[in-house]
Each structure stands twice: as structure tokens, then as C-alpha cells.
Amino acid sequence: MGLKDHLSTSGIKDSKGYEALRTRLDDLGCSVEFLVMDVASHVSVDETLHRRILSELYDRIIDDQRKWHRKVFEALPPANYSEPTMLWNVVRASGHALSSDAIFSFHQTESLSDARPSLYEDFCNSLYLGKQRIERAEIQSLFSDWLDGLGIRDQSGIVVLDWTDAFELPASNDTAFGFSTTWTGFFCRGSLHQHGRCLTIWNPVCRTLAALAICSPIHE
């Protein structure tokens, strides 16, 4: 039995509540990418499975981008438009477990003193409201529902791995120095006005494994 058989969308991805949440986020132009899957009761969740759901998240992102590409292609004059591609090398990714305090801080909806934007700020900055006017309380309620759907709840035992950090490549024959890059092109590397975040979340009570990726603008 392969890893694919350990992850199921029967109780999550296809549920009315899950799709309703996605619809609410889409209506607000939310650019957050996320995926939630059930884990079979006999399966022990380890880093390998966390990496697997990262791969599943990539499949979803590329699938959405290809759907968008087809719509654009149909609206434009005939031409050779390139298919969407994105660096997503999970083998080179490095995840580290977050502390319980760090996980608890995800629920904060007030500005933190930390220089790094909070998860709530990343969430808000990923919304493209246009001319829509929405009350802060409604955004907070949606954020709370989103956290709940991801399995980030006020309970013990939750495991969150942060995959955002860059890795260092060795120096090549053509250069006298090494350079750092990320394992994926999703994080808008090189932009001083964007913030990236990628997490996987294991909730042992709900037996759900989730992944999220955000690249949001920083409003100064």
C-alpha cells in the first residue's frame, strides 16, 4: 500500500462544509493555497507523510493554474502560450516542528510585535477585496473557520512543521561562492514586499493532515 492510499479526501475535501469554506474564500479573492485530507486510523504520521501532502498541494496548485491558463487561452488570440510551471522540489525542503506556543499564536488576530507577519496578517493580506467592504469581525470569523478546517485548534498533540526556510546550495564550478534559494518558486523570493509561509498540520484527534502555502503582499 502506497502513501496515496493513506490519505483520503472522502471526509474532508468533498464535504459540503469544506467546499463551502473554499467558496467563501474564493469570493473574497483569497490567494491562500491549502489542502486537508483524512488519514487512515492505522497509519502512523511521520515526516514522510507530511512531505506527501506537500506534493498533493503542489498538484492542486498546478491544476488550478492550468484551469486558469485554459480560460485565459480561450479569451486571447491564438498563440503558443506556455503552460504554467513552478519549482516545487519537496526532496530539498526542510521542515522543522513548531513549539506549542508558536502554534497557539496562530489564533492571534491582533498585531504582534514580531517583525514577521502573523498568520492572521498573512491571511488578511492574501485577500483581494477590490471594492468589496467587509467588516473586520467577518474576516476574523472566516479566519477562525479556516484554522478549524486546517486542524489548528486549541488542543494538545497538534504537530505543525514549517517548510518555509531556504536551503543553501553548494558552490558550482562556475561560481566562487554558494548561494541560497528556496525549494519552491511559490514564495516570491527576492521581493522585499512579499511574505511567504508554508506549513503542514497534523491533528491526531481529527486524524487530518493539512498543508498550506501563502505568498502575501506586505502593506506598509
| pLDDT score of 6 | 52
| pLDDT above 90 for 159 | yes
| pLDDT above 60 for 102 | yes
| 18-22, 110-114, 128-132, 191-195: range with lowest mean pLDDT | 191-195
Over the stretch 113-127, which tens digit does the pLDDT of each residue have? 666 788 998 888 888
CA distance 200 to 97: 10
Give the residue, 184 or 118, on which the prediction is more confident. 118
Q: What are the Cα distances from residue 162, in Å, to 98, 115, 198, 210?
A: 7, 17, 6, 12
Q: What is the CA radius of gyration of the chain?
A: 18
The closest of 17, 14, 16, 15 to 146, measured between CA atoms, is 17
Give the residue, 193 or 143, on which the prediction is more confident. 143
Over the stretch 49-100, which tens digit does the pLDDT of each residue have? 999 998 888 888 777 767 766 666 677 777 666 666 666 777 777 889 999 9
Average pLDDT over the chain reads 76
pLDDT band at 109 (very low <50, low <70, confident <90, very high): confident
Q: Is 57 exposed, middle or buried (0-12, 13-18, 19+ CB in 10 A)?
A: buried
CA distance 72 to 65: 10
Q: Which residues are 86's β-sheet partners? A: none
Instruction: For 214, list phi and psi in degrees, rounded to 5.
Output: -130, 135
Q: Are 88 and 184 in contact (CB under 8 A)?
A: yes
Cell numbers placing 68: 486558469
Q: Are 66 and 83 in contact (CB under 8 A)?
A: yes
Give the residue, 57 or 1, on which the prediction is more confident. 57
